[in-house]
């Protein structure tokens, strides 16, 4: 029951966050490219709507800038998972139920998170050739993941002349994710930021900027309303600042950031399969960081 309450709170915030200012961070226009040591990193823009993705049939392997452009009315994300031996049908079933235990075999490599309605979030992920399942795990008002409503699919990844294997250059520091915390290192919030999963479970980072007068406690109160109670009244005490989703153990990904000075909160709602799918946020995975 606790999980459902938290999850519904998360939905509310992601919808309400749409009323706030648009996220300037981690957004890039569709079709823009990034030059890496003379070679341009491929940039793929995927439209998200309520409820589905407009997916390309194929994406280049290597490091790819993935922009999720949200044309819907609810917040969305797209997590990429290399299927390996899991069938697409099994992936769809498990993703629709946010059954991370059944997704143990897939390799989650990350993706852009927390794209507000009308907004875009870009993340740089590494893809190996093969079949990938993609999904949005954000819950709809019925408590089921958006994946269960159609935000699940498949992308084929192949090496092409566009493929770039040189990892992005880190400019804005790094953030390590593990059970159950975020550890920033030399983090400035500006330039390319590295996200590393040094733990054993899949994690995400939903990033929000505290509104004037807000505190970590007021943000937590919004994210983690007690079981059975609605989130606090009024607008959310924060605005969206992008984020990353579905980063599996030992995986690294990047996000271009341009965070303005202020206090930010990182939250992970990924379920802990060893604790009855309790969201990591309830196990301490909520962190305030200051950008100066
Ligand atoms: Cu987590």
Q: What is the pLDDT of residues 84-108, one digit of tens each?
A: 999 999 999 999 999 999 999 999 9
Whether the per-residue pLDDT at 29 is higher than 70: the answer is no
How far, in Å, from the CA of 17 to the mean position of ligand 1? 21
**pTM for this one?**
0.88
Q: Which two tokens stand for residue 104?
A: 């143990």
Residues 104-117: tens digit of each pLDDT: 999 999 999 999 99
How far, in Å, from the CA of 202 to the mean position of ligand 1? 6
Give CA separation, 57 vs 20, 60, 132, 156, 157, in Å: 34, 11, 11, 6, 9
Which position has the higher pLDDT, 197 or 32?
Answer: 197
How far, in Å, from the CA of 279 to the mean position of ligand 1? 8
Name the residue with tokens 């890496």: 36
Residues 238-281: tens digit of each pLDDT: 999 999 999 999 999 999 999 999 999 999 999 999 999 999 99
Return all residues near 78 (Cβ < 8 A) that are at least 6 apart. 46, 48, 53, 66, 68, 111, 112, 134, 135, 136, 245
How far, in Å, from the CA of 271 to the mean position of ligand 1? 7
How far, in Å, from the CA of 35 to the mean position of ligand 1? 31
Report whether 245 contacts 204 (CB < 8 A).
yes
Tell me the DSSP string of 210-251: EPTT--HHHHHHHHTPPTT-PPPSSS-SEEEEEEEEEE-TT-
Report whether 286 contacts 266 (CB < 8 A).
yes
Residues 138-183: tens digit of each pLDDT: 999 999 999 999 999 999 999 999 999 999 999 999 999 999 999 9
180 preceded by a cis bond (ω within 30 of 0): yes
How far, in Å, from the CA of 268 to the mean position of ligand 1? 5
Torsions phi, psi for 66 (to 5 deg): -110, 120
Whether the per-residue pLDDT at 18 is higher than 70: the answer is no
How far, in Å, from the CA of 146 to the mean position of ligand 1? 19
How far, in Å, from the CA of 178 to the mean position of ligand 1? 7
In DSSP terms, which residues pair with 63 in a beta bridge?
126
How far, in Å, from the CA of 94 to the mean position of ligand 1? 18
Q: Which two tokens stand for residue 182?
A: 């975020």
DSSP three-state, residue 188? coil
């Amino acid at each position: 029951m606790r999980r459902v309450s938290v999850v519904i709170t998360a939905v509310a915030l992601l919808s309400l966050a749409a009323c706030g200012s648009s996220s300037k961070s981690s957004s890039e226009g569709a079709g823009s490219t990034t030059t890496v040591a003379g070679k341009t990193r491929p940039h793929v823009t995927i439209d998200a709507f309520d409820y589905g993705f407009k997916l390309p049939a194929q994406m280049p392997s290597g490091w790819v800038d993935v922009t999720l452009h949200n044309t819907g009315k609810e917040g969305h994300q797209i997590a990429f998972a290399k299927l390996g031996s899991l069938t697409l049908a099994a992936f769809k079933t498990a993703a629709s139920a946010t059954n991370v235990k059944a997704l143990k075999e897939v390799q989650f490599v990350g993706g852009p998170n927390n794209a507000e309605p009308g907004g875009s979030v870009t993340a740089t992920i590494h893809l190996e050739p093969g079949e990938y399942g993609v999904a949005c795990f954000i819950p709809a008002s019925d408590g089921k993941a958006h994946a269960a409503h159609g935000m699940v699919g498949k992308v084929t990844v192949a090496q092409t002349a566009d493929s770039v294997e040189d990892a992005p250059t880190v400019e804005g520091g790094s953030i390590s994710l593990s059970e159950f915390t975020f550890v920033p290192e030399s983090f400035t919030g500006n330039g390319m930021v590295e996200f590393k999963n040094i733990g054993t479970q899949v994690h995400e980072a939903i990033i929000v900027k505290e509104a004037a007068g807000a505190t970590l406690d007021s943000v937590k109160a919004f994210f983690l309303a007690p079981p059975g109670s609605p989130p606090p009244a009024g607008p959310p005490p924060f605005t969206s600042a992008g984020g990353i989703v579905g980063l599996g153990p030992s995986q690294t990904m990047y996000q271009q950031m341009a965070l303005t000075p202020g206090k930010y909160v990182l939250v992970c709602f990924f379920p802990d399969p060893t604790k009855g799918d309790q969201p990591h946020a309830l196990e301490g995975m909520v962190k305030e960081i200051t950008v100066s």
